[in-house]
Amino acid sequence: MQRIPTTDNLIDIVDLSKSYRRGSTEVPIFDKLSLSIERGRFVALMGPSGSGKTTLLNMLAGIDRPNSGMLAVDGERIDSYSESGLTRWRAQTLGFIFQFYNLMPMLTAAQNVELPLLLHRMSAKERRRRVDTALDVVGLADRARHRPRELSGGQQQRVAIARALVADPKLILADEPTGDLDRPSANSVLEILRLLTDELGKTVVMVTHDPVAARAADVTLHLEKGCFVNEAIAA
C-alpha cells in the first residue's frame, strides 16, 4: 500500500488527468486537476452539465480511474489500487448516496441499511446495534420495518443516508441527493448531511445543481469544462 504523509486533508488530488475514448478520438475531461479537501468538511460540487462532476465523484469512489496523477484519500493512493483492493477500501472508507436512493424494494428499511455490514466480519447483534443507531441518526427508528414503497421520497433518501453511514466510513459521496425531492424533504436531507460533518466528523462531497443545497455546505467548488473556476467558503 502506497501512503502519502498524513495531513489535515482527507482528499488530495494532484495533477489528475482523465479522458474518455469516443470512437477514434480522445475526449479530455480533466487536464492536471489539483484539489485538497480537509477532513470534516461538507463540500458542494457544482457546474454545468458535462463539466465532469460525476466523473470526479466516481474517481473519488474508485469507480472510475484517472489516466494519470495522484488521488489519495486519507493518505491512501487509491489510484494505484487493484480492483479487489478498491472493493476492500470502499467497504471500509466510503458511503455513497444516489439521486434515486437505490434501495432494494423487497427489503425493509433496516435490511437495506444492514447491507454494507454484510461485507464486514460482525455478529448479528452488532449489526443490529449499528442499524438501529444509523436509523436513529436519520430520524427513522420507527420506520425500520417499512419497505421503500411505504416511505416517502425524503424518507427513502434518509434510509439511503443511514445505509451510507452504517459502516462508519470517513468519506460520504452524494450525487445530487436532493435532486428528486421537494424543498422540505431536501432541507431535511441537507440538515442530516450537515450533522454528519458537524457531529460525526465525516467528510461529505455532494454534487448538486441546487444553489440552496450548495449553501448548506462549507465550501462550494465550481467546475467548468474540467477546471475549478472559483472556490467560495460559506459564511
CB of 65 vs ligand ATP, minimal distance in Å: 11
What is the separation of C-alpha 211 from the centre of its chain, rounded to a whole number of angstroms?
A: 18
The count of residues interacting with ligand ATP (CB under 6 A) is 11
Nearest to ligand ATP of 22, 125 (CB atom) = 22
DSSP type of residue 151? S
Q: Which three cell numbers stand for residue 105?
A: 424494494
CB of 86 vs ligand ATP, minimal distance in Å: 17
CB of 85 vs ligand ATP, minimal distance in Å: 22
Binding status of residue 185 toward ligand ATP by CB under 6 A: no
Residue 177's H or E segment, with its range, is none
Give, as ranges, the residues between 44 and 63 that touch ligand ATP (CB under 6 A). Answer: 47, 49-55
Rounded Cα distance, 193 and 205, in Å: 10
Rounded Cα distance, 44 and 190, in Å: 11
Kindly tell me which residue out of 1, 15, 20, 182 binds ligand ATP, with binding defined by CB under 6 A: 20
- CA atoms in the 13 A half-sphere facing the CB of 59: 27
Nearest to ligand ATP of 54, 92 (CB atom) = 54
Nearest to ligand ATP of 59, 165 (CB atom) = 59
Burial (Cβ within 10 Å: 0-12, 13-18, ≥19) of residue 3: exposed
Rounded Cα distance, 12 and 59, in Å: 12
Binding status of residue 222 toward ligand ATP by CB under 6 A: no
CB of 79 vs ligand ATP, minimal distance in Å: 17
Rounded Cα distance, 70 and 79, in Å: 6
Nearest to ligand ATP of 29, 137 (CB atom) = 29
Q: Which residues bind ligand ATP (CB under 6 A)?
A: 20, 22, 29, 47, 49-55
